[in-house]
Structure 1
């Protein structure tokens, strides 16, 4: 594995590596990694158009399956820009808190679209017009996980107002499928704001293993094809407590 660059932003290190193997698959890869060793995005240098990681492939299937003619998307968390980069003809607004991440994605992962806004995703979404988006995607991480203020009932209710009547929220999270208080709380809090909520997980050897979990919330039934979910399986999360904004207790 070869380190191409390491940058420090706040208390977090952000690195770009090249490797001949990624998750057991032989090839030529370049990836962006945070200081907690979590890979935030990867490209196949031999086939740059291929979507390497499973979770963006699953998210894109959910988007296309539930609204094949979607046009407007608000995304929180840039990474290397895999999803908006796959839809250059769609209107994406991408909120990214860390301009260092955006700079690395442009320099090392060839992100060329002019649709990234630097700032807090909740604040930037709040500034958007009502009913303006087909999808809102949350894919934001810090060393502590998904920022709390992006998981509360107040945030989800505000986000719902920014979606059109057929719109959906899609969240990429990291957690456990059993006995995960935070994951269960996010799932239950979404259920307070939206009529339909589904969760999907990559398989793991043990229930206690941390893995990608995708949660979709909508005001209409959620459709998907199992064979197109890039290895994600539908799961049933447990009931949890409702996450409130801190000023609301």
Structure 2
């Protein structure tokens, strides 16, 4: 590993490094990682246009399948800008809380779009006009996980108000496909606001492993083709409690 940047401090840890192996694959990779060892983004230095991780490939499939002519997307969480960089001709507004993440994405990962607003994603989304977006995408993490104010009923109501009638909200999360009270609660809360929902998990070795989870909510039935979901499998989370701003 060749360390390019590192900042470690109270409540904060972030590093950028080059490595010759990523998840068992040999090559030349550049990685953005938080202190809890959660990788926030990576590029193949030999093929920068290649999307390495499964979850953005699955989200892209959902976007292109459910509203092929989409034009307007609002994203909370930037990482290295994988999805936003794929659509240079479309209007993609990105809210990123940490200005250091924006700086590193530009310096080390070549992100060059001028479409990032630094600040709290929910507050920024609240300022957007109603029914302005085809998709709202939540891909925001701290070292403790997805911020709570981005998974409440009130947040989902806000997201729905900014979507076209047949738009959808997609969420990238981490959890388990069975007996996960937190994922069940988010899915239940999503169902309080959106008429149609779907949930997907990415299989991993070991039943106790934390898995990549995608949740989707929309005003219309959500379509997908399993062979294009980058290995994600649909499942039905167990019912859970309602998450609100008050509790």
Paired residue for 1:189? 189
Structure 1, 85-94 or 9-18: larger mean CA deviation: 9-18
**Aligned mates of 2:10, 2:137 — CA distance in 1:** 25
Q: What secondary structure does 2:217 align onto? A: strand
SS, match of residue 161 in structure 2: helix
For residues 167 and 8 of structure 1, what CA distance do their matches in structure 2 show?
39
- 1:84-112: CA deviation from partner (whole Å, max 9, x where unpaired): 00101110110000000000000000000
Residues paired across the two proteins, number = 247
The reply on whether 1:101 has 2:101 as its aligned counterpart is yes
Distance 1:122 1:4 in 2: 32
User: After the TM superposition, which parts of structure 1 deviate over 3 Å for at least 4 consecutive aligned residues?
Assistant: none
Offset at 1:10? 6.0
Once the two structures are superposed, the pairs formed by residues 2-81 of structure 1 within 5 Å of their partners are 2-8=2-8, 11-81=11-81
Gaps of 5+ in 2: none
Give the equivalent residue in structure 2 for 1:206.
Answer: 206
1:116-137, CA deviations, whole angstroms, 9 ceiling, x for partnerless residues? 0000000000000000000000
* Contact kept in structure 2, 1:40 and 1:80, CA below 8 Å: yes
RMSD: 1.0
| Contact kept? 1:139, 1:171, Cα under 8 Å | yes
Name the CA distance, whole Å, in 2 between partners of 1:41 and 1:47: 15
- Counterparts of 1:118 and 1:156 in 2: how far apart (Å)? 21
What TM-score do you get using the length of structure 2 for normalisation? Answer: 0.98
Residues 1:157 and 2:164 aligned together: no
Aligned to 1:134: 134
* 2:145 alignment partner, SS class: coil
